[in-house]
Amino acid sequence: MTPAARDHIWTLISFGYILSWPINGLIGFFIGRRRGLAQEAALLGAFLGPLGWLPFSFVRDRRKKCPSCGTLAQSSATHCKKCFVSFMF
Ligand SMILES: [Zn+2]
């Protein structure tokens, strides 16, 4: 392999990696959202791809479950967005 060809391959790999950021980040976002960790999973997914998504398939669900209607809310939520019951008790 000539040095020029090697450079060309590395350019393609680098561009492919950078172009995959938004897609991998978005996939991470949707995987993490189901655990209440959307931002963390999007960030890790963007940089590491499938390796970044993997841990989020195993972590505990951080979302809060409404005691009144059972709707799942983000871990930072203070009240249920469906029935407005407060999570502060
Ligand atoms: Zn509720």
pLDDT tens string 53-65: 999 989 999 899 9
Regarding whether 87 and 71 lie in a shared domain, the answer is yes
Distance from the alpha carbon of residue 31 to the mean position of ligand 1, in angstroms? 23
Read off the pLDDT of residues 69-85 as tens digits, 9 standing for 90 and up: 999 998 889 999 999 99
Output phi, psi for 84, to 5 deg.
Answer: 65, 20
Same domain, 43 and 26: yes
Domain count, the chain: 2
Please indicate, yes or no, whether residues 46 and 89 belong to a single structural domain of this protein: no
Torsion of CA 30, 31, 36, 38, to 10 degrees: -50
pLDDT the model gives residue 11:
95
Find the domain containing 80 and state its range. Answer: 61-89
Q: 72: closest CA among 81, 63, 60?
A: 63
Same domain, 84 and 44: no
Residue 62 tokens, joined: 């951080």
pTM: 0.74
CA 43 to ligand 1 center in whole angstroms: 30
Question: What's the mean pLDDT in 22-48?
Answer: 94
Average pLDDT over the chain, rounded to whole? 92
Average pLDDT over residues 19-44: 94
Q: Are 24 and 52 in contact (CB under 8 A)?
A: yes
Task: Please tell me whether residues 44 and 67 are part of one structural domain.
Answer: no
Query: Could you tell me if 78 and 54 lie in one domain?
Result: no
Q: How far, in Å, is the centroid of ligand 1 from the Cα of 66?
A: 5
Question: For residue 42, what pLDDT band results from cuts at 50, 70 and 90?
Answer: very high
All residues with CB under 5 Å from ion ligand 1 = 66, 68-69, 71, 80, 82-83, 85
> How large is the average pLDDT for residues 23-39?
93
